[in-house]
């Protein structure tokens, strides 16, 4: 088990709850010569240089009229600019809205409109991706990188010649929204999870108690930083003066290149990434004992964990959700074999209970129920979704996760199922209702149900169970072509099964558990 860690009092105190940007800005002042970020294969960026970059972005956004409470969307793959724009947006008291680059243009437009974004910042690739909906975006459009399409102003040309010092960030309240992170909604539209400055500070405090951050540490960002888990770890690394080594896109070769060429002491990935890493020849000879590998975002096959443990790797698996600002529980590496399959114990500043359908706490070890959580890292609700926000917590502030699990006699959490229909493929959350809504529009489909079916690489894959209309035919290629017009790539079904009828209960609801059992 990890020993108790000494945590910087600035990080545990109230200052960072007033503006989470201070976690980065204070370190810029304290450790100017340390390496802050580096994209693999590109020049390193020190904290001093990071400070100049953040100040330049803040000046550009301020010139666009961005101030406290305004929303700024950011659409780009992994890059050093993610950190620049995150810190600058928060420093202005504005709200950072990271966009999932795997979504379709229509889905991204919905998020920009729903959040009421004042500015959209995109790299050249995402600016081109947004071209089909560019005219419909009611926000200022700023891009960076070579090859920007028409209609986007180049950020490099907007920076002032003499960048003013950033100074102290705008004072915000702990409950003020810092990040709007959109997740798929059960009704078919994504919803914005309101992550506050206090939530971010609490999550970093939780992480610092269990993860070996520090000035000599290096976090390998191989997962998309627009996801809450990777973003939280990036902030933790920067808050302690460590470096963030960024992969523009995940590739097993690039991971081992980074391990050989850079300071890498810990990383985070979903099971599919860890599985693909085992295909690289260097997996057998790399010294993985020096790196803490955190795995979450999907059920982790025990055989995969054992493979890494046999290689001497320090593997941890955890459980969290966007509504908990990434953290709920973590299995520390010392327990990896003894508690194989567990998601670990709750983080020190987060409480977990298992409850029955009536909300009563289950105290008996090993009995499944719904996982409820509470802590300062737990968000207050959803953007412009008052009914869903009201249903998120009970009167004492406990959040019901919709996930099923149990605690053993020693307090270790095991995830056994998902109460909600959500499926997880390659670390991406997919709500079947959203996919079903799109597929139902296909002219050959009479009825459709979407479920997740097991897959060794992705954990689960999106699977469509289809009843066709009389005299109609349909194959998987045709279904996928139709779906890609409306859905992000990871939501497109990878499997299709044709059936004569969908199983239903007496009230007419499709029995998805029967479909899962049949197709498993």
How would DSSP label each residue in 442-482?
STTEEEEEEEEEEETTTEEEEEEEEEEPTT----HHHHHHH
Residue 338 predicted with pLDDT over 60: yes
Query: Quick one: pLDDT at residue 520?
Result: 75
- In the predicted model, what is the mean pLDDT of residues 262-286? 92
Res. 3: pLDDT tops 80: no
Mean predicted confidence (pLDDT) in 56-82: 97
Question: pLDDT band for position 9 (50/70/90)?
Answer: very low
pLDDT exceeds 50 at position 7: no
Residue 509 has pLDDT above 70, yes or no: no
What's the rounded Cα separation, in Å, for the pair 267 and 233? 9
Please report the pLDDT score of residue 418 as a whole number.
67
- Label residue 483 by pLDDT band (50, 70, 90): very high
Say what the pLDDT of residue 436 is.
Answer: 86
pLDDT of residue 5: 41
Q: Is the pLDDT of residue 340 over 70?
A: yes
Q: What are the two backbone dihedrals, phi and then psi, of residue 361, each rounded to the nearest 5 degrees?
A: -70, 130
pLDDT of residue 14: 63
For the chain, what's the residue count?
520
In the chain, the percentage of residues whose pLDDT exceeds 90 is 74
Quick one: how far is CA 413 from the chain centroid?
21
The pLDDT value recorded for residue 81 is 98
Decide if pLDDT at 422 tops 90: no
φ, ψ (nearest 5 deg) of residue 9: -60, -25
Least confident of 13-27, 166-180, 498-512: 498-512
Confidence band, pLDDT 50/70/90 cuts, at residue 506: very low
Mean pLDDT of 360-370: 94
Contacts of residue 123, defined as CB under 8 A and 6 or more positions apart, other chains included, come to 75, 76, 77, 79, 81, 143, 144, 145
Tokens of 408: 């053993």
pLDDT in tens, 132-151: 999 999 999 999 999 999 99
pLDDT of residue 164: 83
Mean pLDDT value across the chain: 91
Segment 344-349 mean pLDDT? 95
User: What pLDDT does 319 receive?
Assistant: 94
The pair of three-digit structure tokens given for residue 462, joined into one six-digit string: 């999106």
Tell me the percentage of the chain whose pLDDT exceeds 70.
95
Nearest to 460 by CA among 433, 428, 412: 428
> Which of residues 373 and 402 earns the better pLDDT score?
373
In this prediction, residues 403-411 reach a mean pLDDT of 93
Instruction: Report the predicted TM-score, pTM, of the whole model to 2 decimal places.
Output: 0.84
- Both tokens assigned to 187: 């009704």
Average pLDDT over every residue of 244-263: 96
Quick one: DSSP state of residue 300? Answer: P
Q: Would you state the pLDDT for residue 420? A: 67
Tokens (6 digits) for 415: 């995830």
What Cα–Cα distance (Å) separates residue 369 from each residue in 154, 372, 414, 424?
Answer: 52, 9, 11, 20
Q: Is the model's pLDDT at 11 over the cut of 90?
A: no
What pLDDT sits at residue 23? 94
Cα–Cα nearest to 171, from 59, 380, 63, 15: 15
For residue 225, name the pLDDT band (cuts at 50, 70, 90).
very high
Assign domain 423-519 to its CATH superfamily.
ANL, C-terminal domain (3.30.300.30)
| The pLDDT of residue 1 is above 70 | no
Tell me which range, 111-125, 398-412, 448-462, is most confidently predicted by mean pLDDT: 111-125
Using the predicted structure, report yes or no on whether residue 175 has a pLDDT greater than 60.
Answer: yes
423 pLDDT band, cuts 50/70/90, is confident
For residue 446, pLDDT over 70 is answered with yes
Check pLDDT > 80 for residue 409: yes
User: Residue 407 pLDDT > 90, yes or no?
Assistant: yes
pLDDT (0 to 100) of residue 186: 43
Among 41-50, 114-123, 293-302, 303-312, the minimum mean pLDDT is found in 293-302
In 320-359, DSSP assigns E strands to: 329-331, 345-346, 350-355
């Amino acid at each position: 088990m990890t020993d108790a860690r000494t945590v910087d009092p600035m990080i545990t105190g109230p200052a960072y709850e007033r503006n989470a940007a201070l976690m980065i800005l204070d370190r810029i002042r304290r450790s100017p010569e340390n390496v802050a970020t580096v994209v693999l294969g590109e020049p390193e960026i020190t904290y001093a240089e990071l400070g100049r970059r953040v100040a330049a972005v803040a000046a550009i956004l301020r010139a666009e009229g961005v101030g406290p409470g305004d929303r700024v969307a950011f659409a780009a793959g992994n890059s050093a600019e993610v950190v620049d724009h995150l810190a600058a947006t928060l420093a202005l008291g504005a709200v950072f809205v990271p966009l999932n680059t795997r979504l379709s243009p229509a889905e991204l437009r919905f998020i920009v409109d729903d959040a009421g974004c004042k500015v959209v910042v995109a790299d050249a690739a995402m600016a081109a991706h947004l071209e089909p909906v560019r005219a419909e975006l009611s926000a200022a459009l700023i891009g960076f990188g070579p090859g920007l399409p028409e209609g986007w102003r180049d950020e490099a040309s907007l920076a002032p010649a003499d960048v003013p010092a950033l100074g102290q960030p705008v004072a915000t309240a702990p409950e003020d929204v810092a990040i709007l992170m959109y997740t798929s909604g059960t009704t078919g539209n994504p919803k914005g999870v309101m992550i506050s400055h206090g939530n971010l500070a609490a999550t970093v405090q939780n992480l610092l108690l269990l993860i070996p951050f520090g000035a000599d540490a290096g976090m390998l960002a191989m997962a998309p930083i627009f996801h809450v888990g990777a973003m939280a770890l990036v902030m933790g690394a920067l808050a302690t003066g460590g470096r963030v080594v960024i992969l523009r896109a995940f590739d097993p070769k690039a991971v081992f290149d980074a391990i050989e060429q850079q300071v890498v002491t810990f990383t985070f990935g979903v099971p599919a990434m860890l599985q693909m890493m085992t295909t690289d020849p260097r997996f057998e000879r790399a010294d993985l004992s020096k790196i803490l590998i955190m795995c979450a975002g999907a059920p982790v096959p025990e055989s995969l964990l054992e493979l890494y443990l046999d290689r001497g790797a320090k593997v941890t698996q955890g459980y969290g959700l966007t509504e908990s600002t990434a953290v709920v529980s973590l299995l520390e590496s010392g327990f990896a074999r003894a508690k194989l399959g567990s998601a670990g114990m709750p983080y020190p500043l987060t409480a977990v209970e298992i409850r029955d359908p009536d909300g009563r706490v289950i105290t008996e070890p090993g009995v499944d129920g719904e996982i409820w959580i509470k802590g300062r890292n737990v968000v207050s609700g959803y953007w412009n979704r008052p009914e869903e926000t009201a249903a998120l917590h009970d009167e004492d502030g406990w959040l019901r996760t919709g996930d099923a699990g149990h605690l053993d006699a020693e307090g270790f959490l095991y995830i056994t199922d998902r109460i909600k229909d959500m499926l997880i493929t390659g670390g991406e959350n997919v709500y079947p209702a959203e996919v079903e809504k799109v597929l139902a529009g296909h002219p050959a489909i009479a009825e459709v149900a979407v479920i997740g079916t097991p897959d060794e690489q992705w954990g689960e894959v999106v699977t469509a169970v289809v009843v066709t209309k009389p005299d109609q035919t349909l194959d998987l290629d045709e279904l996928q072509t139709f779906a890609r017009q409306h859905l992000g790539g990871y939501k497109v079904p990878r499997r299709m099964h044709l059936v004569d009828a969908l199983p239903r209960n007496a009230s007419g609801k499709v029995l998805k558990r029967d479909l899962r059992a049949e197709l498993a």
